[in-house]
Structure 1
Amino acid sequence: MFVRAYIFIAVLLYCLTYGSSLNFGIVEASNRTDQTGLSLADSNMSTNNDVLQVQILARSLESRLNDSAAILEATSSLPEVRSTPNASLLNSTLESLHGIPQDSDIEKRRIAQAILSNFDDFAVVTYIMPNGDMYFLEPYSLQQNQTRNNFAFRDYFRGAMVTNGTYLGDIITSTASGLKQAVIAVPVHSEGDDGNPIEGIWVGAIDLGRLNGELQSFNLSDNQRIVYVDSNGTKIADSDKELASNTNETFSDLRSFQNAIAGKSGSITEDVNQKTTAVSYHPVKALQKLWAVLWMQQQDSK
């Protein structure tokens, strides 16, 4: 209970300092609704309203990503997280345990566990050393399942190290769970000035399964479909339960997607899977990247 309150205070202080508009849905994150009060499931899904609905979805997704980043940034500044990691212990256990033991550097682990317990959008929280070696991963059961020990090749790691700032990586398949994840990485500096050398990278992976579930809860007609797409055209979430399992589906060739990642919003008609489809689109300002929301409605065949 103390750790939860500690994190809440840390996040609150961060928001007051940096002006973040974090929505505190700590335990009830799964019940979040759009700030406009519009119920997507109950609204009229006519084509004329699709552009507005897409804008609402885009703003909601932006808010979630910004909230997640703010949580990681705030907790990365806690003294427990900023304390020097036990590199000598890691060197002796990396190959056998894929990180430090479960009962080691417990202060850092407790912060990670509290994030997972109180902020439902996170699937895992990890600490990575400056050379890319995994220091620990929570939940620990997933650390045990790791098939890699070094993550210097990941774009989120490289981005955080090079920019010395918060970085959203490309959609990846987790080496621990095998599931698709969106990963946010924050550099951790030693206690004192943030100008000190980077001690490690504090990482949170977003549970894309939750995004799928929320889109699939909308009351769409059979010819309608909503997808979230990253900057590479990779599908993030899908309102179609059957098509959601096709994780290799890409939307990079669609003109609507290309317009959205160029920062444009609108609606066009184009072929999607060889079917004439009206597509409403809107960009998602996902930290340093642009994602897209596409709302597709197949046209009646003549």
Structure 2
Amino acid sequence: MVKGLGLMVIPVLFLIIGISAITFMFIPSMSTYSVMNENQNNSNTNQSQFSITTNLTLLKQLDLHTLSQSLNNTISDLMDIAEASMNGSNSFGNMPMVNITSEMKMKYHGIPSDLDLEKRNEAKKLLATNKALLYVGLLLPNGDRYFGEPYSPYQTNSSITNFAYRDHFIGAVETNQPYLSNTLNAVSTGEPLAILANPIYSDAKNNNTLIGVQVLGLNYTYFNDLVKSAMLPEDSNKRFVIIDSNGTEIADSSSDNKNMELYKELQSFQNAKNGESGILVEKVNGKNMYISYTPIKFAQTNWIVLLMSTKD
């Protein structure tokens, strides 16, 4: 019996020794992987921080940092409004909604001013606290206007009641995300503006049933004031412009020399449209100009900031 037990001990000892050896072999490898992985994570973090730092440094060198920062802050606020409507943080998706009759569409171009005051008051509050907004409205799933604020002139003066053909409505519904239009003219006043549209669903997580599309009309006068505020007294030979991805001017620090078709032809515009920042010398209105440029991310597209200065 003892001999048999002794014979059993020998394989067990070999098994223990084998496991120890295997463990010894693998522990350094696992430690090395952990260190390598940590180093890789640190490297990625450092690269990200380096990229941000480099971009900030570049924008400062191009004299675009102050305006870009102000513009990014404004865009962030606007995107927050869109997100709040999409996730149900405000009343725009609240049910029930007023059933719009044919008579309402003909007479009021949506619901009357004294109906669904909860949503109207929410829109008025947004307008009062966000100078970048010119108009706040809600479209039904078929594109019909439900309401618009300010009620006058944006609802009362409108000759159109269905906006299903607009690219911002189509884009918001197809992507299930906020969608920014290029510059267009308001149907009620004719003034230029861009519209940030976002879909609102009954189930925000699963995008089950479309309740409507919130539309935020952007106030170009606000953005014009923004670019002018970025100018310094000694910047008399400089000119800031903000343009959309179609090349149309949104804001201009100069009160003259507006040419909506000019910017499409500039290489600086094309570079910024492709996501680049930099500086070029280009001819504008027959004069050689230094043009600093950078893109500004806004929803699914980019706005573009140019700084033009005379070449001595």
TM-score, normalized by the shorter chain, greater than 0.5? yes
- From 54, 58, 65, the equivalent of 2:64 is 54
1:92 is displaced (CA, Å) by 3.0
Q: Which 10-residue stretch deviates more, 171-180 or 107-116?
A: 171-180
Distance across 2 between alignment mates of 1:188 and 1:197: 9
1:90 is displaced (CA, Å) by 4.2
The reply on whether 1:235 has 2:249 as its aligned counterpart is yes
Question: Is the partner of 1:295 in helix, strand or coil?
Answer: strand
1:247 is displaced (CA, Å) by 6.7
Q: Does the CA-based 8 Å contact 1:90-1:135 persist in structure 2?
A: no
**AA at the equivalent of 2:66:** I
Q: Does the CA-based 8 Å contact 1:216-1:241 persist in structure 2?
A: no
Q: 1:192 to 1:71 in 2, by over 3 A?
A: closer
Distance across 1 between alignment mates of 2:125 and 2:200: 18
Note the 1:210-249 alignment, pairs <5 A.
210-217=222-229, 218-219=231-232, 221-243=235-257, 246=258, 248-249=260-261
Q: Does the CA-based 8 Å contact 1:51-1:281 persist in structure 2?
A: no
Distance across 1 between alignment mates of 2:70 and 2:147: 31
Higher relative contact order (CA 8 A, sep 6+): 1
Aligned to 1:44: none
- From 78, 87, 93, the equivalent of 1:82 is 93
Aligned to 2:157: 145
TM-score scaled by structure 1? 0.77
Q: 1:191 to 1:103 in 2, by over 3 A?
A: farther
Q: Deviations over 1:249-286 (max 9, x none)?
A: 44011000111111111111011122111101111111
**AA at the equivalent of 1:262:** N
The reply on whether 1:177 has 2:189 as its aligned counterpart is yes
The reply on whether 1:262 has 2:274 as its aligned counterpart is yes
Aligned to 1:116: 127
**AA at the equivalent of 2:102:** N
Distance across 2 between alignment mates of 1:130 and 1:95: 19
Q: Does the CA-based 8 Å contact 1:260-1:281 persist in structure 2?
A: yes
1:50 is displaced (CA, Å) by 6.8
Distance across 2 between alignment mates of 1:145 and 1:51: 47
Aligned length: 251
Q: 1:141 to 1:52 in 2, by over 3 A?
A: same
Q: Which 10-residue stretch deviates more, 166-175 or 254-263?
A: 166-175
Percent pairwise identity: 36
Q: 1:228 to 1:193 in 2, by over 3 A?
A: closer
TM-score scaled by structure 2? 0.74
Distance across 2 between alignment mates of 1:101 and 1:226: 42
Aligned to 2:104: 93
The reply on whether 1:286 has 2:292 as its aligned counterpart is no
1:299 is displaced (CA, Å) by 2.0
1:87 is displaced (CA, Å) by 5.6
- From 146, 154, 170, the equivalent of 1:135 is 146
Distance across 1 between alignment mates of 2:102 and 2:116: 14
The reply on whether 1:72 has 2:86 as its aligned counterpart is no
Distance across 2 between alignment mates of 1:204 and 1:194: 24
The reply on whether 1:165 has 2:188 as its aligned counterpart is no
Question: Is the partner of 2:76 in helix, strand or coil?
Answer: helix
Question: Is the partner of 1:257 in helix, strand or coil?
Answer: helix
Aligned to 1:11: none
Aligned to 2:283: 271
